[in-house]
Chains A and B, each alone.
Chain A
């Protein structure tokens, strides 16, 4: 019934509008479909097939092999599993170091340059942000120079009497090195005897290699500026009233930051952590430009391994399978993070108990939960 009554208006102005709606979005739909949806479906097929890179993956001589590619990576016991385990280990350490460091540094920078009465704010912001706009290739090339065995960094270290390592050629894990200082060269049998994904527990716990550590520093250097801008935006959207109230209450700068400012920044913090995590699991450009996975496969990452297996070793099925496992990992960690940050809502509520009474303004109470929910979504 309603359809018939609407029909005349549809074919009139409304109808024209709908038509142009489809026309306007058609190019983008076509592009997104062709280069995002179709590729993912095709790669999903390849990850279940024995395609070797010759001809079309959709042709008749490509066979469905079930979960073979996935099981070769996860339980195969061969080189594929060991490489995948190594790549996961390397990238996990990379994430563990980069995400907290970049978040803390960018927050620190944001707080420093966000002072109202700071002279040269623009200059400092520009300086901190500039590394973020340069290409990862250019900055990796620079890093290779700075961190070569006789490079600028080791020169600086020599001024304070430290003999720097041969950064990008040093495959030793930094935690292993730390134990090495105390004469511990091999781990207990429990750790060296058992393996997970073809990598011994002792190696899992070895920390990132010295080479990977240089990449960690690179990532912190290039991303802190971007996240600083996000934190500055977050800081500026906070009303000054709560902070002022805390000031009146006699809270010093340190207390104000931890108990008043930081809890209010939770939405921004969530964004930064999520973006950081997603970005860190995708390291590719730097590895491709810098080390190609070496030395001793200690800078191999799943993203690079996926590329290498497919394009260099013609193991297309495995390469695609790695990409999908990586996708799952990223989705998994994003959900975990969302869940962890949402859980703390309880302590946040306690926090709110702190904030309202001293401020005394009734306005502060209703705005608080609203902002909170926005951030969680």
Chain B
């Protein structure tokens, strides 16, 4: 209601302040500017898709055209039938699924404990969490390798997945969410004789869906797009993920020549899952930050 009246008043203000012609001119200028900017942001991705269907000669000769003169799926055939690309894709899927599931479970457990359960050292734990959040990831490249190597999980799925389960920011999000829901429901369940884990699992967690979706989005995107951790935790060709594999394509390891259609096809395919997720959860992603501030 209040926003509507606000919009109405501001509209009436502009109407009285400026003559109609100028307002319309200003409006069209705004749209022109927005459309121009949107083209700048979208055009690169259109070129990416278009080029992946071009022949190599055409990609080099005609980098701007959005319609291939000769439509060729050679790049995709090469990727899927004559390269390790399917293995990379499989590894990315495995890592992403396990990291996302693991984070959802462990983040909500820890977030719930920090928000609701009383135990000694809780505040200290929370302070430690904040401190840990401030350590920049790149600084941890060598350190992580050292530990992974030391405990013998180098070059294994365990070494790829388990270290990525650490997600202080996610715990933080879950803790904030649990604090925002009323305690009364849990107390009712507790009076009925449910244990702490039971209360958490069947009463609290179902209510936490919006926060869980946020964790899923962040974890999915984060682990699918992760590169540096896989560089330092694996070396075997069987454990290459999409990010690592496509990065090696970029430096021309598949064959000689520029191979732009193949590289761009690979980049396009690895963008698809995040893009799909983005469009499914678009409303939530766009409003996530709004809601957090407003509440």
A residues near B (Cβ < 8 Å) are 14, 16-22, 24-25, 27-29, 31-32, 34-40, 42-43, 46, 56-58, 109, 112-113, 115-118, 122-131, 133-142, 144-146, 148, 150-152, 155-156, 221, 225, 229-230, 232-234, 236-237, 240, 244, 247, 278, 281-282, 284-285, 288-290, 292, 303, 306-307, 310-311, 316, 319-320, 323-324, 326-327, 330
* B38 lies within 8 A of A288 (CB): no
Q: Is the CB of B294 within 8 A of A244?
A: no
* Number of residue pairs spanning A and B whose beta carbons lie under 8 angstroms apart: 290
A36 interface neighbour in B132, B246, B247, Cβ under 8 Å: B132
Given A36-B166, A285-B228, are A127 and B141 also a contact pair (CB < 8 Å)? no
The 8 A-B residue pairs whose C-beta atoms are closest, nearest first, are A39-B143, A21-B119, A24-B113, A135-B225, A43-B143, A21-B117, A18-B119, A138-B267
Nearest B residue (CB) for A16:
B196
Residues of chain A within 8 A of B132, CB atoms compared: 32, 36-37
Give chain A residues whose Cβ lies under 8 Å from the Cβ of B47: 142, 145-146, 152
B151 CB to closest chain A CB (Å) equals 8
A221–chain B nearest beta-carbon distance, Å: 8
Find the residue from A28, A34, A237 having the highest chain B CB count within 10 A: A28
Residues of B within 8 A of A233 (CB): 289-290, 292-294
Contacts of B10 in A (CB 8 A): 116, 240, 244, 247
| Chain A residue with the shortest CB-CB distance to B268 | A138
- Chain B residues proximal to chain A, CB less than 8 Å: 3, 6-7, 9-11, 13, 17, 30, 33-34, 37-38, 41-42, 44-45, 47-48, 51, 59-60, 63-64, 106-107, 109-110, 112-114, 117-120, 122, 125, 128-129, 132, 135-147, 149-151, 162-163, 165-166, 168, 171, 195-197, 200, 221, 224-225, 227-228, 231-232, 242-243, 246-247, 249-251, 258, 260, 263-264, 266-268, 270-271, 274-275, 278, 282, 285-286, 289-290, 292-294
- Residue on B nearest A47 in the bound complex, by CB: B142
Supposing A131-B41, A135-B274 touch, asked if A36 and B286 sit within 8 A by C-beta, the answer is no
| A25–B125 CB distance below 8 A | yes
> In whole angstroms, what is the CA distance A229 to B282 when docked?
12
User: In the complex the two chains form, is A145's CB within 8 Å of B51's CB?
Assistant: yes
Query: Are B144 and A25 neighbours in the complex by a CB distance under 8 Å?
Result: no
Would you call B264 and A20 a contact (CB within 8 A)?
Answer: no
Question: Does more than half of chain A's interface fall in helix, strand or loop, or is it mixed?
Answer: helix
B243 to chain A minimum Cβ distance, whole angstroms, is 5
- Contact status B110-A122, CB under 8 Å: no
Cβ-neighbour of A112 out of B34, B166, B275 (below 8 A): B34
Residue with the greatest number of chain B CB neighbours at <10 A, chosen from A14, A56, A327: A327
Instruction: Give Cα A45–Cα B179 distance, bound, in whole angstroms.
Output: 40
Q: Shortest beta-carbon distance, B152 to chain A, in Å?
A: 11
Do A137 and B138 form a contact, CB below 8 Å, given A35-B166, A116-B10?
no
Residue contacts A-B, CB under 8 angstroms, 9 given: A20-B113, A36-B135, A112-B37, A133-B274, A134-B274, A145-B59, A229-B286, A244-B13, A323-B138
Contact B247–A306 (Cβ < 8 Å): no
- The answer, among B6, B146, B227, B270, for a CB contact under 8 Å with A39, is B146
Beyond A150-B63, A156-B64, whether A29 also contacts B139 by CB under 8 A is no
Contacts of A46 in B (CB 8 A): 142, 146
- Given A39-B143, A135-B225, A140-B250, 17 more A-B residue pairs with CB atoms under 8 Å apart are A36-B166, A38-B147, A42-B150, A115-B30, A117-B7, A130-B45, A134-B274, A137-B250, A145-B264, A229-B289, A237-B293, A288-B247, A307-B141, A307-B231, A316-B142, A320-B143, A323-B141
